[in-house]
Structure 1
Amino acid sequence: MSVLAEDWMPRALRLAEELAAAGKLWSARWREPICAVPRATPAGAHTWPVRRPA
């Protein structure tokens, strides 16, 4: 399990960063970046907030 976690966690973090960058580029037409970075909650879970254009 630890080997799998060590193998996938860096990939997941890189993917999250790429998604965040792509989201900012994609939402530039609304001039409001979409937050694709996981946000830590008090419970320790991660949510994926997305601000939709009006």
Structure 2
Amino acid sequence: MNVNTGRHYSVRQIHFSGQDTSPDSVLQREIHPREGTWLNAGKVRQGKTH
């Protein structure tokens, strides 16, 4: 088993701007990663495609 022990980053805050039709809570529900979680490059890519 190989374990990659690179640097770890967590998501502190996500800010939305320029979008007035949906409340931030709706946008946060749909975005990956979520605030307070460990950053995962795969989840970031997933969030960009949805």
TM-score by length of 2: 0.30
Q: Whose relative contact order is higher, 1 or 2, with alpha carbons under 8 Å and at least 6 apart? A: 2
TM-score by length of 1: 0.29
Greater fraction of residues in helix: 1
